[in-house]
Structure 1
Amino acid sequence: MMKMYLLFSVLGAVIPFGAFLPWIIDNGLDLVSFYNAATANSISIFAWLDVVIAAIALLVFIVTDGRKNKISHYWVAVFATLTIGVSCGLPLYLYFKEKQRLVLKQAT
């Protein structure tokens, strides 16, 4: 599973940015245009609110679970969630958690 989580993390970064890159090429880093496009209709707003709520829940989970279980490098998954998104941050955290589980299993 560890390799699968890492693959999903890479795909979770590459695929969304592949869709976002053409917009950046056309518009640059124009935050007003980005906001207008992101809130253009009720479906866009629905999608953004869904992602924002999922990201907040994921960040709370990563920080809480990461500290509780002493997951190495959990902060990298926090950073990935904040800069790339849930599609990268969640599988990356699961990768770190699974990696630590396997290391602890081998130590016993």
Structure 2
Amino acid sequence: MVKVIYLLLCVLGFLLPYSQFVPFILEHGLDIKLFFEQLFANRISGFFGMDVIVSSLVLWTFVFWEGTRLKMQNLWVYIACNLLVGVSLGLPLFLLMRERQLEQQAETLGY
């Protein structure tokens, strides 16, 4: 059941951010300067921007330590998802794959 929830969160984590990003790209192209100007246009948007940056750093640390501990493969995929979409995709995808890894390890050990 938890894997289904993580999968649904992955879908939402991709669709919702891109529902805002795609129209920006269509209107302005990949204008990085404008992107950051709008991201930090006021204190509230800056608050959310800084929160996402810090959350991304936390995710990268978690992916590295937990993924290494569980001997997970291709840890770069979760960082790439974080950079291409955001924490909203990178985190639930990592948690989904972590669940699969834990289940596989339990099966191997005969639990």
TM-score (norm. length: structure 1): 0.91
3-state SS, counterpart of residue 72 of structure 1: coil
One-letter amino acid of the structure 1 residue matched with residue 97 of structure 2? F
Matched-pair identity in % = 35
Specify the SS of the correspondent of 1:29: coil
In the other structure, the counterpart of 2:54 is 53
Per-residue deviation, residues 47-101 of structure 1 (Å, max 9, x unmatched): 1001100100110111111111112333211211122110000000101110011
User: What stretches of structure 2 of length at least 5 have no aligned partner?
Assistant: none
- The one-letter code of the counterpart of 1:105 is A
- In 2, distance between residues paired with 1:79 and 1:63? 13
TM-score, normalised to structure 2, is 0.89
Residue number in structure 2 paired with 1:76? 77
Paired residues of 1:2 and 1:95 also in contact (CA < 8 A)? yes
Q: Which amino acid aligns with 1:73?
A: N
What RMSD over aligned residues (CA atoms) do the two structures have, in Å? 1.3
Aligned residues: 108
- How far residue 105 of structure 1 moved from its aligned partner, in angstroms, is 2.0
Q: Does 1:88 align with 2:89?
A: yes
